[in-house]
Amino acid sequence: MKSRFACGLIVLALLSTGLTGCWDSRSIDELAVVMATALDYTEEGNIMASSQIAVPTSVQTEGGSPQSGAGAKGFTVVSAVGKNVHDAMDELQRKLSRKLFIEHRKVLLIGEELAKQGLKDTLDHFSRDPDSRLQTYLLIAKNARAVELLLQAVPFEKVPTRAVRSLQEINAEITTTLREMFTAMSGEEIVPTVGALELVEGTAGAGVSTGKDESSRMMTFRLAGSAVIKDYKLAGYLDMEQTRGLLWVLNENKRVSITGNVPGKGNVVMELDKTGKKIKTHIRDGKVQVDISVTTSGPVHENNTDLDLSDPNNIVQIEEALSNSIKGSILKVSEVSQNQLKADIFGVGREIYRHNPGQWKRLKDRWADTYPEAEISVSSSVTITRTGMYGKPLHLIEEKE
């Protein structure tokens, strides 16, 4: 009996060895790791898919010395055209000796022309593809084809699209994932916005220079505000200032500073510590009224006035100037959303639905016409928490001494 039991254990142990490991595992040298995908609309009405693929270090230094071309850059870009996204990706795979691996993809770039044509079919593909990560960032290539952005280099990164997420987070800009896009598109209570990128000369602004003559200027990309997607199509753009106003209403203005102009005195900069917002809606005589209130607090980061910040009366002036700056940026983007885009990017409809679903049921079918006529009022409250080591500006202290 014991011998039979022992034999059974041996058989089970032998059988279990075949169950270990990943049945569908692949070695890294068999994979083409996709870091970003770009989709563009062709003149023939087809879809061009481009993938930015990381080049392994072993390939970059093949033969014991650094390679030139794609390997030296740390990435390569491969493109293919198809009738739809799936067809284009299949064609792209036929050009590669390695299996496309998209589970590590961080960014999905959409060319401006494709965004204008409509994204319903494109987004449908990604909503059904089991390999697509819902945390992938979605962005629009402003005034450009998406593939052009994939080809550009950026400082500090061998694979440029790794910088996209950091750019958005460090600069506290609009960040929209595929999951958030699908959620917004499934309802009618808010018109979604996504980040926008644009091409710039490397020697201009925050770009990168080759350090050579004028003819050697290189291109790179930078944040360009946000894109408004209405009815699955690109409705227009918000510039950086307008995007900042939108972020106040969405309560997503994190790790940024604001500048307030004190009439006849100069300006003051405050770093944000805490922010909050409230949206209240009222419907009177069929007219929608919206009250937006924003609160924020933080320390003074720079004082370019002659005001002594140890004087409470001067603090009141500065808080008022900062409040007016916030209020002005919100009113500007409000005007654009109502008069130009006619798109509820604030989520006013969502607030009505949350607090008065019965009223929303009566409004939703004509919300596209109702929102532009809504009366929007804005209030802002700023509290300065710290003024730094000196109350008076340094130049006044020196003059007194």
The per-residue pLDDT for range 225-262, each reduced to its tens digit, is 899 999 999 999 999 889 989 999 988 776 678 889 99
- What does the pLDDT read at residue 96? 85
How is domain 244-401 classified at the architecture level of CATH? 2-Layer Sandwich (3.30)
Give, for 13, the enclosing helix (H) or strand (E).
Answer: helix 2-16
The per-residue pLDDT for range 304-322, each reduced to its tens digit, is 888 888 888 999 999 999 9
Residue 156 has pLDDT above 90, yes or no: no
pLDDT above 70: percentage of residues in the chain:
76
Measured CA to CA, the distance from residue 120 to residue 47 in angstroms comes to: 13
Q: Which residues, in sequence order, are CB contacts of 298 under 8 Å at separation 6+?
A: 270, 271, 272, 273, 274, 384, 385
- What does the pLDDT read at residue 201? 75
The per-residue pLDDT for range 185-231, each reduced to its tens digit, is 887 778 999 999 888 876 443 444 434 444 445 667 788 889 999 99
Residue 172 has pLDDT above 70, yes or no: no
Residue at 284: amino acid letter: R
Residue 147 has pLDDT above 50, yes or no: yes
The per-residue pLDDT for range 26-55, each reduced to its tens digit, is 666 678 888 889 999 999 999 999 998 888
The per-residue pLDDT for range 48-94, each reduced to its tens digit, is 999 988 887 644 444 444 444 444 567 889 999 999 999 999 999 99
CATH 3.30.300.210 domain span(s) along the chain: 244-401
Residue 116 has pLDDT above 80, yes or no: yes
User: How large is the average pLDDT for residues 159-185?
Assistant: 76
User: How large is the average pLDDT for residues 373-399?
Assistant: 78
- What does the pLDDT read at residue 7? 61
The first and second tokens of residue 358, run together, are: 């019965």
Name the band, by pLDDT with cuts 50, 70 and 90, for residue 375. Answer: very high
Q: What count of other Cβ atoms lies within 10 Å of the Cβ of residue 63?
A: 6
Measured CA to CA, the distance from residue 247 to residue 225 in angstroms comes to: 11
pLDDT above 90: percentage of residues in the chain:
40
